[in-house]
Structure 1
Amino acid sequence: MSQNNEMHPRNPYRNKPPDFKALAVEYPEFRKFCQYVSNGKVTFDFKKDAAVRCLTQTLLKKDFNLDVEIPPGHLVPRVPQKLNYCLLIDDLLKANKLTKNVIGIDIGTGTSCIHALIGARQFNWKFIATDGDEKSVRVAHENVAKNGLSSSICVVHVNPDVKTVLMDVVNTIPDTDYAFCMCNPPFFEKGNGDDKFCEDISSSTETYSNRVASEFRTAPHSATFASSAELFVDGGEVAFVNRIIDDSVLLRDRINISESTQQ
């Protein structure tokens, strides 16, 4: 929740970060991860996967009326940063006079499907949300359905092994033009993220975590857990984004704006 001054001017979290004490009073599940200290303030355990997941779910429910399931061991999106990304996209759309019947593509939507859910709920955009992981697609589809947004968001499973990122999706839905595509890509090539993430032996699934200190860094303030598919990709993020660029050039008459972020 840091770097508030760098957030988008229209991001409500910029000037009003989450009030953990108020959230603890209103949401009993969130309260389980809080402790009241002697000065009357509340401390929150950012190093637990369940706690960070509950924070995201609580903010999505309170501020966007979104009920979102995020399975343990999968990436937990930070709501202020994800809203920030959508606001930047909104600026680009307005600058290019693309404000009516907006349809976007979210590449690697993840289990939370957060870009598409916020985009549909907050900005009335429609989405094709893609992912190469079958479990992520299934959970994302369930999240879309239970929030009543199936008419606005179509979740699509794509082959993670093909070189193209956009071509197959766009070509299977003819006669549709897209205002933008957005992406928060996997960051690392397999083996190159070992100084930041290691396999979490406490998990029953193939889960990676940054919560343990290493010779390269101290343990982080806020833990991040993720599956292999969410962290690693052949060639790392540079190669992945280059694939998006290559597809965007070929599809320049179908997609107006292509964007990627590390948020």
Structure 2
Amino acid sequence: MSEEKTILHARNKHRSRYNFPELIRSLPDLYPFVAINSHGGESIDFADPLAVKMLNKALLKHFYGISNWDIPENYLCPPIPGRADYVHYLADLLAQSNAGIVPKGKAVKGLDIGLGANCIYPIIGVQEYGWTFAGSDIDPLAVKTARAIVAANPVLSNSISCRLQNNRQHIFKDIVKPGELFDFTMCNPPFHASAAEAQSGTRRKLQNLGKLKGKEAVLNFGGQHSELWYEGGELVFIRNMVEDSALIASQCLWFSSLVSKSSNLPFIYKTLQYAGVKEIKTIEMAQGQKISRFVAWSFLTEAEQREWAQKRWRS
């Protein structure tokens, strides 16, 4: 009997510990990376970027039917259980405007800011709820790789569009088209303020894993400049996102962003209030010992939110 991680969302497919024999059956290439750990159980070396990527490939194939997935070396390879939680909690947020029912199908459209080469959020949203997605990124190779993933998997090909943001100062501008509507936006913002800070964070992670030992730090989950750091860090990125969201206030039901540090919340709330939002929600999530959260905001009143749901999902 698998032990449940009850802290993950109830609909999250990754609540049980990784079943490596099953995952290896789905992706035999995972086999060389699995070994018995110090606790006597099967695992991979989470300090090895290739092992982490192979685990992701196995999870995506086994749980989401994605047979063709790959990313370039040194690009962000995110832990899938936590990514899935964000999607499921967003589904619950949409349900609040829809008489408690999670809306499913292509009528529901999301926007992933910072799509990355991995395309993880849209993959999960499409395969779990049948939603459609647009994803944006400032990195041409990330967009090209995400497009290749979509094209190589027929289950995704009519549901995800990948858009290049040519101006790193803009977030929604030039991505959201005039009159285009989104039911939600989501984002995992770069939370470091500089390359040096990102490298320091990498070294801390590897020390915690006991894998540093004087070697050059290599981030186990990878990550490019644009994925890991932004001048001014998370706070400046989210502030810019809030300001940009006000320009398309009537074109989206819920905007949202992950927030890595709870100490950043007061500043974010003030920024949102200054922007004139009608409702703010902070939704906490937990994976292992780590508590994470996202902040969601809407420029629509509760009555307008219900009207939006009626027109978009029940017409």
TM range, normalised to the smaller chain? 0.7 to 0.9
Which string of whole-angstrom CA distances, capped at 9 and with x for unpartnered residues, describes residues 43-99 of structure 1? 322221100000011000000001311222111111111111110110011112283
Q: Which residue of 1 aligns with 2:257?
A: 260
Where 1:83 maps in the other structure, the secondary structure is helix
Instruction: Tell me, in whole angstroms, the C-alpha distance in 2 between the residues paired with 1:188 and 1:128.
Output: 25
Q: Is the 8 A contact 1:21 1:41 kept in 2?
A: no
User: CA shift at 1:27, angstroms?
Assistant: 2.9
Q: Which residue of 2 aligns with 1:61?
A: 61
Identity of aligned residues (%): 30
Once the two structures are superposed, the pairs formed by residues 217-256 of structure 1 within 5 Å of their partners are 219=210, 223-256=220-253
Instruction: Tell me, in whole angstroms, the C-alpha distance in 1 between the residues paired with 2:226 and 2:111.
Output: 19
The answer to whether the aligner puts 1:130 opposite 2:136 as a matched pair is yes
Instruction: Tell me, in whole angstroms, the C-alpha distance in 1 between the residues paired with 2:37 and 2:129.
Output: 39
Q: Which residue of 2 aligns with 1:197?
A: 202
Question: Of residues 119, 141, 145 in structure 1, which corresponds to 2:147?
Answer: 141
Instruction: Tell me, in whole angstroms, the C-alpha distance in 1 between the residues paired with 2:21 and 2:48.
Output: 18
Where 1:53 maps in the other structure, the secondary structure is helix
Which string of whole-angstrom CA distances, capped at 9 and with x for unpartnered residues, describes residues 222-256 of structure 1? 93322222111111111111111112222110011
Mark the CA change 1:247 to 1:38 in structure 2 (over 3 Å): closer, same or farther. closer
Moved more, 243-252 or 88-97: 243-252
User: CA shift at 1:142, angstroms?
Assistant: 0.3
Q: Which residue of 1 aligns with 2:312?
A: none
Q: Is the 8 A contact 1:180 1:259 kept in 2?
A: yes
Once the two structures are superposed, the pairs formed by residues 97-136 of structure 1 within 5 Å of their partners are 97=98, 99=103, 101-136=107-142
User: CA shift at 1:113, angstroms?
Assistant: 0.7
TM-score of the pair, normalised by structure 1: 0.83
Instruction: Tell me, in whole angstroms, the C-alpha distance in 2 between the residues paired with 1:47 and 1:193.
Output: 16
Q: Report the count of equivalent residues.
A: 244
Where 1:193 maps in the other structure, the secondary structure is helix
Instruction: Tell me, in whole angstroms, the C-alpha distance in 1 between the residues paired with 2:39 and 2:235.
Output: 47
Which string of whole-angstrom CA distances, capped at 9 and with x for unpartnered residues, describes residues 192-219 of structure 1? 3342136xxxxxxxxxxx6643xxx674
Return the letter of the residue paired with 1:34: V
User: CA shift at 1:152, angstroms?
Assistant: 1.1
Where 1:167 maps in the other structure, the secondary structure is coil
Instruction: Tell me, in whole angstroms, the C-alpha distance in 2 between the residues paired with 1:182 and 1:20.
Output: 30
Question: Of residues 140, 155, 160 in structure 2, which corresponds to 1:153?
Answer: 160
Instruction: Tell me, in whole angstroms, the C-alpha distance in 2 between the residues paired with 1:37 and 1:156.
Output: 41
Q: Which residue of 2 aligns with 1:181?
A: 185
Instruction: Tell me, in whole angstroms, the C-alpha distance in 2 between the residues paired with 1:133 and 1:96.
Output: 34
User: CA shift at 1:12, angstroms?
Assistant: 2.6
Q: Name structure 1 gaps, 5 residues minimum.
A: 199-209
Where 1:237 maps in the other structure, the secondary structure is helix
Q: Is the 8 A contact 1:108 1:129 kept in 2?
A: yes
Q: Which residue of 2 aligns with 1:207?
A: none
Q: Is the 8 A contact 2:110 2:131 kept in 1?
A: yes
Instruction: Tell me, in whole angstroms, the C-alpha distance in 2 between the residues paired with 1:197 and 1:39.
Output: 25
Return the letter of the residue paired with 1:184: N
Q: Is the 8 A contact 2:113 2:188 kept in 1?
A: yes
User: CA shift at 1:38, angstroms?
Assistant: 11
RMSD: 2.7
User: CA shift at 1:175, angstroms?
Assistant: 2.5
Instruction: Tell me, in whole angstroms, the C-alpha distance in 2 between the residues paired with 1:81 and 1:38.
Output: 24
Q: Is the 8 A contact 2:114 2:136 kept in 1?
A: yes
Instruction: Tell me, in whole angstroms, the C-alpha distance in 2 between the residues paired with 1:38 and 1:252.
Output: 52
User: CA shift at 1:26, angstroms?
Assistant: 4.7
Instruction: Tell me, in whole angstroms, the C-alpha distance in 2 between the residues paired with 1:37 and 1:25.
Output: 20
User: CA shift at 1:4, angstroms?
Assistant: 2.7
Q: Which residue of 1 aligns with 2:49?
A: 49
User: CA shift at 1:41, angstroms?
Assistant: 4.2
